[in-house]
Amino acid sequence: MSQLWKKNLINITPYVAGEQPENSRIIKLNANENPYPPSPMVEKILRDKNAADLRKYPSADAVPLKKALARRYGVREENVFCGNGSDDVLAAAFRAFFNSDKPVFFPDVTYSFYPVWCEVLKIPYETKPVNSDFEIDTKDYYEENGGVVIPNPNAPTSIGKPLDIVIDLLEHNQDCVVIIDEAYIDFAPDGFSSVGLIEKYKNLVVTQTFSKSRSLAGMRIGMAFADPELISYMQAVKDSYNSYPLDQLAIETAAASLSDEKYFAETIDRIKNTRDEGKKILRKMGFTVLNSDTNFLFASHPEYSAKAIFEFVRENGVFIRYFNKPRIDGFLRITVGTDDEMSVLYKALEKFFESVK
């Protein structure tokens, strides 16, 4: 029997998400999820939801959420795009804006979904190497290109950059769309977000998510901020493959989360405090830990392999992230958990060091 049809199957290396444990007793510090529950306002929406409402389609453009986001970020409703997590939002942006024969630029050590989208969508791309401190050099992005994608703060390195870096990129890339991926921006210092630049730079797209800082990873809610013309192109892409990306519960819970700024700020502060304390503790254990502007730590040990440490703590009930990739295979990415969860991790690490003496 002929199997010539196999020639037409897609051949890509897919994105690999953090491992999901089957055992609920596992301490899960490998997916950059928020260790705290969402706002009580979200719980109220879930508790009071009338199931009969689910027979109707949701708002096609997530209008109630767009209005809430516009109020929260001080932009117009037409500056906002919503999708199923920032992954879906970024995929729509790649489809909408990267259609030239020139390569899209992004760092060589960064979110590993970018090259996957480029390969799926047949977008030419070129990675620009970060330096030995895992920082980008904006001059690498001055060359002619088909677009620029920069995560700020970056993942998995945890490094954030102030606005002068973004402005430099925008000033030298006025003939293409520049995407700033701000999945972790709420854990960075005040003033790092690029949302306030969208009025001046009409080619700027800023993406964010409810998954990290607002504890709604299970709802899959993301957004983009940009000039209305760019938003209209993203809407056209969305409506060409999925005109109802966000369901009723996602829209309502996201809007409820935005209404509770006090809880949001308290949760962010708790995570940042635990992160900064964790950095000190890991350094005392001999780890090299990069300064973090995210909800995770990027650490290596000069004496022991990251893979060996990863496997040991995994066997002791703690999941962290190891990347078997060039330049970062000596590092571990550790999501910031609760203080109690981090204590379990520290004990597992101490146990590892005792085992290798």
173-207: per-residue pLDDT in tens? 999 999 999 999 999 999 999 999 999 999 999 99
Q: pLDDT at residue 11 above 90?
A: no
Q: pLDDT at residue 10 above 90?
A: no
Distance CA 149, CA 147 (A): 7
Q: CB count, 10 Å around CB of 285?
A: 15
Residues 199-255: tens digit of each pLDDT: 999 999 999 999 999 999 999 999 999 999 999 999 999 999 888 899 999 999 999
pLDDT of residue 1: 62
pLDDT of residue 19: 77
**Mean local confidence (pLDDT), 73-77:** 98
Average pLDDT of the chain to the nearest whole number: 95
Structural tokens at position 62: 């997530």
pLDDT of residue 14: 80
pLDDT of residue 21: 78
Distance CA 187, CA 295 (A): 6
Bridging pattern class, strands 104-107 and 147-151: parallel
pLDDT of residue 149: 98
Q: pLDDT at residue 2 above 90?
A: no
Task: Delineate the domains of the chain, giving CATH numbers in brackets.
Answer: 4-38+262-355 (3.90.1150.10), 51-260 (3.40.640.10)
Q: Which residue bears the tokens 């949302």?
A: 195
197 φ/ψ angles, rounded to the nearest 5 degrees? -95, -5
Question: Do 300 and 323 form a contact (C-beta atoms < 8 A)?
Answer: no
